[in-house]
Structure 1
Amino acid sequence: MSTSSPKMKQWRPPYSLIKYSQVNANGDTPLHVAAKCRHSAMVKILFQHSKARRGTSQSGGLNSVWEMLKMANNEKNAALHEAVQYGSLEVVKVLTRRGDPDFSYSTNSYGETPLYLAAARESPEMVVAILGSCRAAAHGGPVGKTALHAAVMSRNSETMKEILEKKKCLPEETDQYGWTPLHYAAYYDLPDNAQVLLEIDESAAFIPDKDFNMTPLHVASSQGRLKVIEKILLHSPQCYELVDARGWNFLHFAMVSLYEKEVDLLLQNPLVRSLIHQKDAMGNTPLHVLAASKRNNSFERNSINLKHKSNLQVINKQNISVEHISSYGFPELEVIAGIFT
């Protein structure tokens, strides 16, 4: 007589007990919960039982797995949103492989798509999983930003490259402030990211923002980002003479935000040198701005001005010269220049 214990079969709930469309107080289906718990095995079981219960689809004939994936909770998150937010690459892979390749996954209550969330998490692997299986993956984010904005702001060049591989139109897309991804690369001093963006689309350097008409070159100059300035001038040199809402070219900003040796370096470029003579809406040249900024107490001995001494007598619309400002000041312009010091 055998004394061995009988083998126990793995218990699985009968199909009648699995109600994949039932939700909790948060509007979460069992698939949402499995995604939040990073439980890829449970996700697969839910898919298996859903397929086995053919004919139960609420929309009558729609692929039951696809229907599960499209269901949103109270925050308008699909299961894929939750999987990305909770950082489960394995669950993301399972969900995207089994989902409708033409479903775009709209934004949640916070304006985030799964692709945007993956980019913000600095996860190129999740980005690849989503873009590889979801042909129509939406890329939107809050306040008009895109997944490419998120990738730039997260400082992850690998994520950027993966997004640009499938969505080459994004470098020119702006958020509600009119900022492109290149504006953010300029602001956060990301020359390598700026180069990647410019190699895909040089025209992004010409796009001004909505409030101040500032291009990425203006932003880079206002923040003192010399390496980003050099990248933009290398790839899109024609944008050098564009001006903002006040008529400032990028050299007006550079005179305030960069050190003397950095400005000297820029002035070796003949295009940049020609901007020394350009006046803003009030008639101020970059040297007027430099004098008003008071960055260098020895203004008269400043090497920049010695090279352009003839410009020290140039006057603005108020008949005030650069030399006058260096000697007696110009409060009106000093306030403006002080914003960028």
Structure 2
Amino acid sequence: MKLLLDEKKDLMNVSDDYGWTVYHYLAYNDLHKIVPDLVSVDKSVGYRTDKEHKRTPLHVAVYEGKLNVMKELIKYYPDSLETVDGNGQNILHIAAEKEREEVISFILSLGFETCNNLLLQKDKNGNTPLHLLAKLRDCYSELMEIRAKVDWQVLDDKNFTPLDVLQMTDTELAEQSIVRRVFNRNDIRKYWRLWRLRKTLDIEEQREIKKSKEELLKEIRELLSTQMIHIELKIVKEPGSVQFSSLELSRFTKWNS
């Protein structure tokens, strides 16, 4: 294949009536083993887009759910991750719309630093990938993996946050997400620890903690009411997080001294 490509190098730049190059076709057919050979002959062709949808070969691979060739293209074209098509959609938009679960999992596995911009980019309809992913129940575990770092308050053009979308899609999952987000906050952890140690503190320290606690509880109630959800708090357990039970939370919220 490499020898043939070297002899017919000019064919690499040929595109069909739709603007598809050899890269688009290898992406469509998941011919991942050929990618290194093509790159060694003419890497620049891999950046070209088609005429109608303005999609790169990487976009095509994601659209078709061709995971193997997608991995190869990302390896050689990491700078094209945030490239958008004619609809303003990046690869995560496309994967979410097509419900390509394996593709979504792989992209998110690249890490927060890589995915953050992808998650928050808006397409021409005002949707971010985060909003689109919130509609997919099967992607909930992936969302929970990145929940602590992602901006869940980003708005789409309809002024909905991803949590709003999640609530409309699945109320139970939305409730779990809100509970986890609230009770993994650093200030919650801090005052929970101080409450447990309250008897060892002097009077002035207890008064200061009580004042701060009331402000914190007010903020939490406002946050929960904003989501328009009634949450019955049960035990929330996650690696590295503080554990709460309904009884402990009841005592915590009623603590007045």
Question: Same fold, TM exceeding 0.5?
Answer: yes
For residues 224 and 82 of structure 2, the distance between their equivalents in structure 1, rounded to whole angstroms, comes to 40
Say whether 1:78 aligns with 2:56: yes
State the distance in 2 between where 1:163 and 1:25 align. 42
Give 1:138's match in structure 2, choosing from 118, 121, 125.
Answer: 118
1:238 equivalent in alignment to 2:241: no
With 115-124 and 28-37 compared, the bigger mean Cα shift is at 115-124
Q: CA deviation at 1:114?
A: 0.4
Q: Distance in 2 between matches of 1:128 and 1:242?
A: 30
Is 2:66 the counterpart of 1:88?
yes
**Structure showing greater Rg:** 1
2:165 is the alignment partner of 1:174:
no
Match of 1:157 among 129, 134, 140: 140
Deviations 1:236-255 (A, max 9, x none): 42246669xxxxx889xxxx
Amino acid at match of 1:238: E
> Which has the larger helix fraction?
2
Counterpart CA distance in 2 for 1:240 and 1:162 is: 22
Partner of 2:96: 119
CA distance in 2, matches of 1:78, 1:87: 14
For 1:174 and 1:41, the matched residues in 2 are separated by 41
Distance 1:201 1:108 in 2: 36
Unaligned runs of 5+ in 1: 1-9, 51-64, 203-234, 244-248, 252-268, 270-341
User: What residue identity is the alignment partner of 1:91?
Assistant: V
Partner of 1:23: 15
**% same residue:** 20
Counterparts in 2 of 1:160 and 1:117: CA distance versus 1, 3 Å: farther
Q: Contact 2:15–2:21 at 8 Å: present in 1 too?
A: yes
Matched, 1:107 2:84: yes
Aligned to 1:172, the other structure's residue is in SS state coil
Aligned-residue Cα RMSD (Å) equals 3.5
Runs of 4+ in 1 over 6 A off after TM superposition: none
Q: TM-score if structure 1 supplies the norm length? A: 0.47
Using the alignment, how far apart are the partners of 1:153 and 1:31 within structure 2?
32
TM-aligned CA distance change 1:88 to 1:197, over 3 Å: farther
Q: What's the TM-score once normalised by structure 2's chain length?
A: 0.60
Residues 106 and 138, structure 1, Cα contact 8 Å, conserved in 2: no
1:173 CA displacement: 1.2
More displaced 10-residue stretch of structure 1: 107-116 or 185-194: 185-194
Cα deviation for residue 151 of structure 1 reads: 1.1
Partners of 1:100 and 1:45 in 2: CA distance: 17
SS at match of 2:60: helix
Unaligned runs of at least 5 residues, structure 2? 184-218, 231-249, 251-257
Q: State the one-letter code of the partner of 2:89.
A: E
The C-alpha deviation readout for 1:240-286, integer Å capped at 9, x for no partner, is 6669xxxxx889xxxxxxxxxxxxxxxxx9xxxxxxxxxxxxxxxxx
Which protein, 1 or 2, shows the higher relative CO under an 8 Å CA cutoff with sep ≥ 6?
A: 2
The residue type equivalent to 1:135 in the other structure is T
Aligned position for 2:46: 69
SS at match of 2:4: coil
After superposition, what is the alpha-carbon deviation per residue over 1:178-202, rounded to whole angstroms, capped at 9, x for unaligned? 0111111111234224423663478
After TM superposition, the structure 1 = structure 2 runs for residues 9-48 of structure 1, keeping only pairs within 5 Å, are 12-18=3-9, 19-48=11-40
Deviations 1:99-118 (A, max 9, x none): 134x4433212232101222
8 Å contact from structure 2 (residues 182, 220) kept in 1: no
